[in-house]
Amino acid sequence: MDEFTHIINGMDIEGVLNGGDLPVVVDGRFTGEIHAEKVTLGEHGLFVGKLFATHVEIGGQFNGELVCGTLNVGATGKIDGSVKADTSSIDLGAEVMGSIGRAT
The binding site for another protein (CB under 8 A) comprises 1-8, 10-25, 27-28, 32, 36
Which residues make Cβ contacts (< 8 Å) with residue 2, sequence separation at least 6?
none
Query: Nearer Cβ to another protein, position 6 or 70?
Result: 6
Compute the least distance from the CB of residue 96 to another protein, in Å.
26
Spatial separation of the C-alpha atoms in residues 29 and 86, rounded to whole Å:
26
Spatial separation of the C-alpha atoms in residues 1 and 96, rounded to whole Å:
29
Query: Nearer Cβ to another protein, position 2 or 101?
Result: 2
Query: Nearer Cβ to another protein, position 33 or 65?
Result: 33
23 phi and psi, to 5 degrees?
A: -65, 160
Spatial separation of the C-alpha atoms in residues 60 and 58, rounded to whole Å:
6
Query: Nearer Cβ to another protein, position 23 or 77?
Result: 23
Compute the least distance from the CB of residue 102 to another protein, in Å.
28
Compute the least distance from the CB of residue 7 to another protein, in Å.
6
